[in-house]
Structures are given as structure tokens and as C-alpha cells.
């Protein structure tokens, strides 16, 4: 049974029971009191939530938005109630931020979900902290989610440091052009050679990949790591891995920030000749190798200090 804790004078971190372990670690590191939101599902599927009876002026809600639809409803219910119970400044920590892919209408009549969800979150929260949001045609998170304070953290340096502890003389490859920002950041951190593949998408599970045009025979005998912000169906990563193995790579591993991994995705990637799969714990998964808790806690402590001085 979830418990409701008293309000903290330094700040409260609210979470749901399924994310309690990572939220507890972040609250402890950031000096916040953890409270678990009680959640009941009625037979018809509606939710009843219960928050602490009184809250500190500064409240953080931790809710990762993978498998997002019901979780967005939870935020719609919880955030206004938190303000009624005493929260004057409300921060959302969403390690994975959903609905960021659709940032323009590719066809007439399509909903631009990034814009819609971003505006919704901006009405609910004063600040949003997330990790490697899937932004490509906007340059800042604040353009997508127009809150007062939009904080972007990155899993790329965390994964790069972990890769460096596991592999030597790495060739870092992005499976498509959109991965360039994370691959370049990670490669620069350790002086690795890097490149990105060219992808043509024909559907959610049908893609064509071309390996990057690097000098010489760049893949033969190399220790290759494919890096991206997320892996979902696994088809892009798997196709890139097949080509790298065919080009003579000594090994191919995969590192991603967000382990979305739809059903069958990991098996597909393994069958393509991938050795290790590493991810951050933004999304709970068996591949989790790196924790985001320290960098999130740093961001929360920095915000607490700024707010306390106002």
C-alpha cells in the first residue's frame, strides 16, 4: 500500500508507485521528501488519485512518459490538485518526454502532437526537466514546451563514459541523420571517430539504411557502437548492424538513452548480430546500464537553490 508523507519545508517529490525506486533515489540525492501518489482504478477504467493533504511550496512530480496516454491523464489530474494543496512552483521530471516526434504536419489534417502536448504541459507546470527529447525541427525544448524553465539533460555523455569502460578504440555510428547530435557529443568526449548512416523510412517497420562514407576501409576489424536517443521497433538499429557486420566489423554493440523496445525489438537486434545493448534508466529495461539519477538530482538541487534565493 502506498503511503502519504507529510509536506517538506525544502520541497516534495511526488511519484507513482511504479517509479518509486528511481524517484526515491533522486529525492534522496536532491534533498527532497518523497511522497507516493495513491492510485485507484475504477472498473470502468477511470482513475482516482490521492496526494498528500498539504504540500510544500516547491513540488516536483516525477513521471516518465513512455506508454504515455494514461500517464498524461494522471498529470492532468495531479498537477492542478498539487497547486490546490499548497504547491506554488511545480516542476515535472519526465525522463522520457512523449509525443515529440510529430513536430510538423507531414500531411494535411495531421495533429502536430509536439505543439499540443507542449502547450498542455506549459499550462500545468512552471518547469520541465527531461533527457534527450526527440527534437529535430525546433532548436530548444522551450519552443516545444513553453514553460518558464525548460531543462534538457543528455544521456550521451553518460553512455559514452560507460562505453569507454567497456570497449577500446571505438567507432561510434549513428543509425540515421537524426542521431548526429548525440553521436557527435559522445565521440568528442573520448576522441572517437564517428559517422551517421543515411536512412530512408518507408513505414514504422520498413527502412533502408546506407552506411556513412568514411575514408578507407573504416569498418573492417573495428569495435563499433551504434548510438541513438531511442530504440523502439528496432528495425533501424538492426538494419545498420547487419550492414556493419557485413562490412567486417569485429563487434557491434548498441547504446541508447531511451529503451522503448517494442515487443520483439530486442530479439530482432540480437539476430542482426549485435552483442551488448546498453541504455540509461530513463525507461526501466533489462538493458539499463547507466543511471540518470545523479544528473537529474544536480538539476533539481540547482533549481532549488535558485528558487530559494528569489
CA torsion angle for 204, 208, 210, 211 (degrees, to 10)? 50
| Residue among 287, 304, 236, 306 nearest 12 (CA) | 304
Instruction: Check if 168 is active-site.
Output: no
Handedness of CA 160, 282, 122, 82 (dihedral sign): negative
The residue from 115, 167, 199, 235 that is catalytic is 199
What is the distance of C-alpha 176 from the center of its chain?
18
17 DSSP 8-state letter: G
Query: From residue 158, how far is each of 163, 173, 225, 289 by CA, in Å?
Result: 9, 17, 14, 10
Distance between CA atoms of 263 and 240, rounded to whole angstroms? 19
Element (H, E) at 22: helix 20-30
Give the contacts of 297 (CB within 8 A, at least 6 positions apart). Answer: 26, 29, 30
**177 vs 274: CA distance, rounded Å:** 20
Q: Which residues are catalytic?
A: 199
Amino acid at each position: 500500500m502506498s503511503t502519504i508523507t507529510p509536506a517538506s519545508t525544502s520541497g516534495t517529490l511526488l511519484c507513482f508507485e511504479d517509479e518509486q525506486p528511481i524517484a526515491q533515489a533522486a529525492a534522496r540525492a536532491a534533498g527532497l521528501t518523497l511522497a507516493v501518489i495513491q492510485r485507484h482504478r475504477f472498473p470502468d477504467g477511470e482513475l482516482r488519485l490521492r496526494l498528500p493533504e498539504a504540500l510544500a511550496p516547491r513540488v516536483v512530480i516525477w513521471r516518465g512518459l513512455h506508454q504515455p496516454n494514461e500517464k498524461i491523464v494522471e498529470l492532468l489530474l495531479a498537477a492542478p490538485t498539487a497547486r490546490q494543496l499548497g504547491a506554488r512552483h511545480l516542476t515535472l521530471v519526465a525522463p522520457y518526454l512523449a509525443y515529440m516526434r510529430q513536430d510538423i504536419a507531414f500531411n494535411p489534417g495531421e495533429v502536430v502532437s509536439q505543439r499540443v502536448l507542449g502547450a498542455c504541459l506549459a499550462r500545468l507546470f512552471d518547469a520541465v526537466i527531461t533527457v534527450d527529447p526527440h527534437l529535430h525541427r525546433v532548436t530548444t525544448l522551450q519552443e516545444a514546451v513553453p514553460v518558464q524553465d525548460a531543462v534538457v539533460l543528455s544521456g550521451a555523455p553518460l553512455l559514452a563514459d560507460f562505453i569507454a569502460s567497456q570497449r577500446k578504440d571505438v567507432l561510434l555510428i549513428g543509425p540515421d541523420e537524426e542521431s548526429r547530435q548525440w553521436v557527435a557529443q559522445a565521440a568528442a568526449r573520448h576522441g572517437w571517430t564517428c559517422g551517421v548512416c543515411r536512412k530512408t523510412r518507408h513505414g514504422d517497420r520498413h527502412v533502408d539504411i546506407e552506411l556513412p562514407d568514411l575514408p578507407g576501409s573504416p569498418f573492417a576489424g573495428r569495435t563499433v557502437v551504434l548510438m541513438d536517443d531511442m530504440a523502439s521497433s528496432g528495425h533501424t538499429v538492426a538494419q545498420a548492424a547487419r550492414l556493419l557486420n557485413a562490412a567486417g566489423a569485429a563487434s557491434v554493440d548498441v547504446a541508447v538513452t531511451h529503451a522503448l523496445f517494442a515487443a520483439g525489438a530486442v530479439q530482432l537486434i540480437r539476430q542482426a548480430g549485435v552483442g551488448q545493448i546498453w541504455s540509461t534508466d530513463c525507461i526501466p529495461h533489462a538493458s539499463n546500464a547507466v543511471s540518470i539519477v545523479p544528473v537529474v538530482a544536480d538539476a533539481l538541487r540547482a533549481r532549488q537553490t535558485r528558487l530559494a534565493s528569489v
